[in-house]
Structure 1
Amino acid sequence: MKMSECREVKAKRVFIGAGCNRVVNNVSWGASGLISFGAQNAVAIFDPKISQILTTLPGHRATVNCTHWLPSSKFAFKAKNMKRQYLLSGDSDGVIILWELSVLSNKWRHILQLPHSHKKGVTCITAFMVSEADAMFASAFSDGVVNVWGVSFPSQPNEDCKVSCLDSISVGSKAMVALSLAELPQNPGRFVLVMGGLDNKIKLYHGERMGKFAYGCELKGHTDWIRSLDISLPLLTTDDTANSIVLVSSSQDKVIRIWKIMLGGDHGLRRREITLASYIDGPVFISGKLTYQISIESILIGHEDWVYSVQWQPPVYNSSEEHAWSQPLSILSASMDKTMMIWRPEKKTGVWMNTVCVGELSHCALGFYGGHWSPDGFSILAHGYGGSFHMWRNVSSEESENWKPQKVPSGHFAAVTDVSWARTGEYLLSVSHDQTTRVFSPWKKSEVHDTEDERWHEMARPQVHGHDINCVAFVRGKGNHRFVSGAEEKVLRVFEAPLSFLKTLNHTIAGELSSLIDLQADMQVLGANMSALGLSQKPIYAHASSEPVDRSRVEGIDTLETVPEAAPSELTEPPIEEQLGFHTLWPESHKLYGHGNELFSLCSDHKGTLVASSCKAQSTSMAEIWLWEAGTWKTVGRLGSHSLTVTHIEFSYDDTLLCSVSRDRHFSVFSLRKTDGGEIIHELVAKVEAHKRIIWACSWNPCGHQFATSSRDKTVKIWSVEDDDSQVKQVLSLPLFGSSVTALAWTVVDLEKNVGCLAIGMETGLIELWSIEIQKTEERGMAATASLVLRLEPLMCHVSAVNRLVWRPIKKAETRLRIQRLASCGADNCVRVFDVKFD
């Protein structure tokens, strides 16, 4: 299948799994209904209706700290006729990028990067929609500067946005981490900007629409850092709506404060009877010709930890009232105490009370970094310390509220180091420096009318560990689903799928591909329990007592051991975060000791009999590759050849050869054979200095004894092991690439013609597909030709280094495959799955 024969190769994104950066102002819910968040250096967009990540936007070179929609859910009522919506994103290098989304075509465009001279990161962004064509926004930086910007949106399709810096306010050495911008009541064209940060005072500035901002006053009351601020729109359903706006603030002192900014003078400041809801007069400031009085309206105490986020409910439409749009008196707060609360004033007394409280009750949730309203006010979303999302929706149509947990996308919140397909490709397993192992799978569609592409979700979290996990290998062959993982410890761990997982697998698309009945009949282990220190997972047996043990009552047990019992069960729909983090663990069956340093690379043969492993090394003895016999888990070989860390190992498809590549710039090929007595005989066939820099990856041709190697020197070379397995020669070198080549994966496209496709992943995150054809010549033996058939679009690719590429396993009987599935993982915290179509 040369270029002329392969008319076209197409790639379609099937799935993106990613966690949210652990930053407070990282998430924004737009008027479009889409949610944005930072995933390492990318801006990810997810649709809560289908709980899928739609795309990731490349452009930042540093961690994305904050995102903000123009318009956000707060201004959804002003966005009905907007054909294009916009998104701001800021990173830890101080760069802010403006993106455009075409609502009709659902296409994204990088509009511009704001001019900046900041050496430190963006901490938060807030915005105010003046009209559908006009907006203001403010950005705060870690160097103590707050910038105010004006932006006008284009009216014609071929025009671009115009952004201008209106003012730059220096607020001292302490950074501002919370901002809110609003128009002053009865004062068109004049705005108020409130900011709070790493002290306990709220600073208030005011200014004109296109002018400078002047200092107004300070609001004192909080006793710790200010974490969140939000000003209501002048649409609040109160008597003095037109003359006031209301500011809500939250702090690390666990308290929420409500402040009223009210027009001063006789007509605006009416004295009321002293009641429980009476306010206390505060400072006064003058903006233009009008005076404003600020007063403390209420103090809300209910959270038990830092309150990271407060937000007013977006305006709602009511056709029966004079003013159709009104903003409800309803505040959402999110705290590190693992709860979100909705606060409303009582109708009779006016005293603010928390009317709704939702949250994660399991021990594995470590608090919420932010809470957000959907544009319609029926859904609320939190993002947590573990990079996870938690969403609830009010499913009650009556006045009594009923908030139910909803499905959300999930993924790793640190670099994903390795991925592996299950034995026959039923699901995908990934490991990460976030110390978790995750299983992703497409689920069966429950909706009959659903014509969308298959939807992937996280199905289980087999391992939750105390160390960063570097490598994983599925043990193929017959028997139970099992894998081996290696972390920044010297021990390999073997995990076996429990009964709860096998039953759950029947409810995914994978259940249609494999027969699990035989496995379930012999399975005794239902699930696993987490140990207190997160270093071992013990089995829960199917016939054990169903009553969980309260370990805190057992005398003599250390208090660290008071971890709640897991309750594994068969899942009929994608699990939510609380189930994933605790109830979907796999039991650990073996620990393999032998390596002297932290594990780095793992591989299993295709028969499911051998596992090869390597660790970080600075010497020849440490750089040995260990061979383990699957099942008995005994050491059956130690292959010595390299002098530095072996970075990748792979068995040939007939399992007679093993290729290893290393930091020492060499690759080694070993021959393997099993004697009649069951002993493994291994022999070094060749050791070649193949590249000028570190070799990152190798991959075997499924059709023969050819393999590819890739290196930091930006090259990919094809090698062939001669028929007598006595020597290795280079048959091809691909043209120089634009950056270091970090990942390779070779699959067969046409077995009869010995044509394959080599997927190549780079340090920049880009992925290319090359057609490789192997021919046998009389003069030179094996020869190869290669041609680039597809360069994946940057929007589909990773934004940081590709760590691993893996093709889904194919059956030997399939000699000509038109559609194949490719999985990738990267340093951008993402797991991606593509369907590649060969026409």
Structure 2
Amino acid sequence: MTCDGVEVERLFIGAGCNRIVHNVSWGASGLVAFGAQNSVAIFCPKTAQILTTLPGHKAVVNCTQWMPSTKDAFKVQHEEEHFLLSGSADGVIIVWGMSLKEGKWRHVLQAPQSHKKGVTCMKGIMVTGTVAIFASTSSDGSVFLWEFVFPSRTGGDCKLSCLQFLNVGSKPMVAISLAELPGSSDYIVLALGGLDNKVHLYCGERTGKFNYACELKGHTDWIRSLDFSLPICIDDGKDTLLLVSSSQDRCIRIWKMALHISPANSKVPYRKEGIGLTSYIEGPLFVAGSSSYQVSLESLLIGHEDWVYSVEWQPPLRTSVDGNEWDQPQSILSAAMDKTMMIWRPERTTGIWVNVVTVGELSHCALGFYGGHWSPSGDSVLAHGYGGSFHMWKNIGVNVENWQPQIVPSGHCGAVTDIAWAKSCEYMLSVSHDQTTRIFAPWETEVCLGNTISCHEIARPQVHGHDINCVTIVQGKGNHRFVSGADEKVARVFEAPLSFLKTMNHAMLQKSSCFEDPQDNIQILGANMSALGLSQKPIYVQAPSEAQDRISHDVSDSLETIPDAIPIVLTEPPIEEQLAWHTLWPESHKLYGHGNELFSLCCDHEGKLVASSCKAQSAMVAEIWLWEVGTWKAVGRLQSHNLTVTQMEFSYDDMFLLAVSRDRQFSVFSIKKSETGEVSHHLVARHEGHKRIIWACSWNPYRHEFATGSRDKTVKIWAVEKESCVKQLMTLPQFNNSITALSWVARDRSGVDGFLAVGMDDGLIELWSLSGGCVAVPAMRFDPFLCHVSTVHRLAWRNSEAEGDCRTLQLASCGADHSVRVFQVETHIFSWRIQSEWAHKSSLALENHGVGSPDYMTLVVLIYNSS
């Protein structure tokens, strides 16, 4: 994305999957779609990177479905555009289009009619190469059947029309599947399953008019997933259809739907007269046009020990070069809350369905799987778990199956509340309401033609029992440390273990001085999680063998027995099981003093002081506490505000501490440290700078100037003069939404020119060019497809260096949409003629209209646009 000399590229997205069944879909394009809060995220399994997020939904995304699906890929062999359906908790269905050649996405359309409540499931089939029929279910008890007509050219208009509306009553359906009936391609069978423990079959033509056919009884709890196979060969003819269903009763049932041998013109009852054992085995009959079909229970699969949330047939395999011939493998993938995925196949001799592959059973951290999915080629399986995590296995065996775990993208499954760059910017730390702290870093890999760099989550240093609200990394010399604050009255200090320092050496082929030789005096290898999930105890260097012995003697896995972690030095990006258990950092100190939940933290540039604040409704509780790094003693309590201090930041020389608050005021404190280590402070200024809550602030990296952003949709620039007073320099033009995050970066060490990144409540990000403290012009408004879809909570620039005529910067952001993002911003240096012209014209505007006046700012924008 380019705009007037500024280029923005998205480098990385970290996001977790919503904890919802049917939320993930693996398409024929090879890409995986999933809901991440209000957005639809797309990731590539080959690179283990999230490629983009699609904004548009105003509520949590519940389900996704690719068109064509992996099951229908052979029907659409030369399609240049694939489509994705997404449904959200407010009943809205959106259709997205992706160009296979360019990899670009577009918002195609929104369903003209919407469910009154959340969409729970969507499934569809291709009836021709350009026409699909799909169905959607909702918790309001409704089922919609839709016809979707693909465009005649890439980027063209699509047609979506509602074929039929079904009302299933007070017990809604949560699982759905569609298939063409064998021997009668003009008729489609619709299977519904839900809270009444039954599978309901409807039959109708392609144009709609679906009628109730029959119901299948057998499950004793909610039905969570349904999937039709393609027609399979029985007696040299593809006249049999198989339906697999899974339930919370821990069972999987396979139903056979075959052409009935009775005359087509005979009246077929719902069940045969004289109900006996034979009729129950054979099952019900229904008529579709001139054909009749009998449904019977083919097999009952028992093996899972908890709710079975997902079942899926393996995608068809092409048996010819031109793709006109295909075969449906007799293979079913199931995923359950017992932390396992199983592959079921019938034995060759007896035909009895048995479990042939089980993966995931050794995981202590998955907390169950919400769904399992096949890759288009059938050689990989993917599951998403309770913690928003992905788990993927690939069959790398040649003659014997050998399923091995693979690297997948990861991220938070709750609102990400704060981020911080490491003191040397080798990695980024984030905290979230999902009660975890995560470290993301670029991982450099040697390949035959050079080195490749991709970003991954490489450690999860804190797994907590409370939502985490804020974090700061301790700057200065010494081992890597951070302080986090959560929904408790205690701030916690963590220190990097030896295993992490050595892991960073593998991540960076060109080793940084901070990780070159981990100090010999670091005796802590990693950390163990306590039973209550609050404190993390150190594991010392000499103890790993003892821990391994304990694990080998105690192999039980229950809530009462938590296995010890085994800290390891990673030589490649870790998988979920390693992240959640073996990359913890030990907790070294607890900081007591605040009266309420921690809300904001910051550290000075020397790494000597940490400031903290908590949620407050009174002046006494709203105190800012200063902590001495090392001793971790409270050395100051700063009073100025009456409500919660929302953000704090030290000036570049650590002379001042800036604090903004919910009471609409900001404060500047003078901080002085004596040679003996004593800290003195006094209030320099306190101003009611905005009309609403002030959410964000940021200092100029090299000057005593700072910016404040508020819910009143304004950003103001201030300066500390003569170390005794604060003067307003200017006000940026009013924005379209509340300002929730700010970050200032300088173009050079003079600090005269720079960029201010502005994050807003609607998730959008803008860059403003600041010059001389009195000129501000818009430099870039990020494309919505690059931005967050909910509130931006924090922005942070990474230190960088100028190269030639272009300066490369990196901006990190986090938001309420559960995502962490890193952008690369390249700013081409403008010619001195244009810069001097701006300076001259802006000085005239300043003289004639005054700083911050509407006329002045309008003139500045006009100057910028004309240049």
Report the TM-score, using the length of structure 2 for normalisation. Answer: 0.91
Contact 1:100 1:109 in 2 (8 A): yes
The CA distance in 2 between the partners of 1:158 and 1:359, in whole Å, is: 41
The CA distance in 2 between the partners of 1:249 and 1:732, in whole Å, is: 64
Aligned pairs for 1:178-327 (under 5 A) are 178-234=175-231, 236-239=232-235, 241-265=237-261, 280-319=281-320, 324-327=325-328
Q: Secondary structure at the match of 1:547?
A: helix
| Shift in Å, 1:318 | 2.0
User: Cα deviations across residues 478-499 of structure 1 (Å, max 9, x unaligned)?
Assistant: 1001000000000000000000
Aligned pairs for 1:632-711 (under 5 A) are 632-711=631-710
Change (3 A) 1:451 1:72: farther
User: Cα deviations across residues 565-600 of structure 1 (Å, max 9, x unaligned)?
Assistant: 100011000000000000000000000100010000
| Shift in Å, 1:77 | 1.8
Pairing 1:161–2:151 present: no
Pairing 1:522–2:521 present: yes
Identity %: 64
User: Cα deviations across residues 488-543 of structure 1 (Å, max 9, x unaligned)?
Assistant: 00000000000000000011138623342443322100000000110000000001
Contact 2:445 2:451 in 1 (8 A): no
Contact 1:427 1:510 in 2 (8 A): no
Pairing 1:139–2:128 present: no
| Shift in Å, 1:362 | 3.1
Partner of residue 352, structure 1? 353
The CA distance in 2 between the partners of 1:252 and 1:638, in whole Å, is: 55
| Shift in Å, 1:72 | 1.3
| Shift in Å, 1:346 | 0.3
The CA distance in 2 between the partners of 1:170 and 1:739, in whole Å, is: 40
Change (3 A) 1:102 1:751: same
Partner of residue 448, structure 2? 448
User: Cα deviations across residues 148-190 of structure 1 (Å, max 9, x unaligned)?
Assistant: 0011111134631111100000000111110000001111210
Aligned pairs for 1:446-485 (under 5 A) are 446-449=446-449, 454-485=453-484
User: Cα deviations across residues 777-825 of structure 1 (Å, max 9, x unaligned)?
Assistant: xxxxxx41100001110000000000000011358x9999701111000
Partner of residue 272, structure 1? none
Partner of residue 769, structure 2? 771
Contact 2:14 2:409 in 1 (8 A): yes
| Shift in Å, 1:451 | 7.5
The CA distance in 1 between the partners of 2:610 and 2:69, in whole Å, is: 51
Q: Secondary structure at the match of 1:503?
A: helix
One-letter amino acid of the structure 1 residue matched with residue 69 of structure 2: S
The CA distance in 2 between the partners of 1:10 and 1:338, in whole Å, is: 44
Change (3 A) 1:88 1:475: same
One-letter amino acid of the structure 1 residue matched with residue 530 of structure 2: S
Partner of residue 760, structure 1? 758
Pairing 1:393–2:394 present: yes
The CA distance in 1 between the partners of 2:338 and 2:287, in whole Å, is: 39
One-letter amino acid of the structure 2 residue matched with residue 589 of structure 1: S
Partner of residue 330, structure 1? 331
Partner of residue 373, structure 1? 374
The CA distance in 2 between the partners of 1:322 and 1:103, in whole Å, is: 19
Report the TM-score, using the length of structure 1 for normalisation. Answer: 0.94
User: Cα deviations across residues 78-105 of structure 1 (Å, max 9, x unaligned)?
Assistant: 2320101000000000000000001111
Change (3 A) 1:510 1:606: farther
The CA distance in 2 between the partners of 1:474 and 1:689, in whole Å, is: 30
Change (3 A) 1:280 1:446: farther
Partner of residue 855, structure 2? none
Partner of residue 834, structure 2? none
One-letter amino acid of the structure 1 residue matched with residue 378 of structure 2: G
Gaps of 5+ in 2: 269-278, 829-867
User: Cα deviations across residues 241-282 of structure 1 (Å, max 9, x unaligned)?
Assistant: 52110000000000000000111115999xxxxxxxx99210
Partner of residue 778, structure 1? none
Partner of residue 3, structure 1? none
Change (3 A) 1:650 1:228: same
Pairing 1:835–2:831 present: no
Gaps of 5+ in 1: 1-5, 270-277, 775-782
The CA distance in 1 between the partners of 2:366 and 2:464, in whole Å, is: 15
Pairing 1:806–2:796 present: yes
Change (3 A) 1:771 1:562: same
Number of corresponding residues: 812
Q: Secondary structure at the match of 2:417?
A: strand
Change (3 A) 1:47 1:479: same
| Shift in Å, 1:750 | 2.8
Contact 2:505 2:516 in 1 (8 A): no
Contact 1:551 1:562 in 2 (8 A): no
Contact 1:34 1:48 in 2 (8 A): yes
The CA distance in 1 between the partners of 2:170 and 2:295, in whole Å, is: 26
Of residues 768, 784, 794, the one that matches 2:774 is 784
| Shift in Å, 1:365 | 1.6
Partner of residue 505, structure 1? 504
Change (3 A) 1:320 1:104: closer
Pairing 1:419–2:408 present: no
Change (3 A) 1:554 1:577: closer
Pairing 1:119–2:116 present: yes
Q: Secondary structure at the match of 1:319?
A: coil
User: Cα deviations across residues 6-27 of structure 1 (Å, max 9, x unaligned)?
Assistant: 9501111000000000000100
The CA distance in 2 between the partners of 1:282 and 1:38, in whole Å, is: 38
User: Cα deviations across residues 52-85 of structure 1 (Å, max 9, x unaligned)?
Assistant: 0000000000000000000111222223201010
Partner of residue 821, structure 1? 810
Q: Which stretch shifts more, 600-609 or 537-546?
A: 537-546
Partner of residue 148, structure 1? 145
Q: Secondary structure at the match of 1:243?
A: strand
Change (3 A) 1:262 1:123: same
Pairing 1:429–2:429 present: yes
The CA distance in 1 between the partners of 2:91 and 2:437, in whole Å, is: 33
User: Cα deviations across residues 451-500 of structure 1 (Å, max 9, x unaligned)?
Assistant: 76x31000000000000000000001010010000000000000000000
Partner of residue 779, structure 1? none
The CA distance in 1 between the partners of 2:323 and 2:384, in whole Å, is: 37
One-letter amino acid of the structure 2 residue matched with residue 808 of structure 1: R
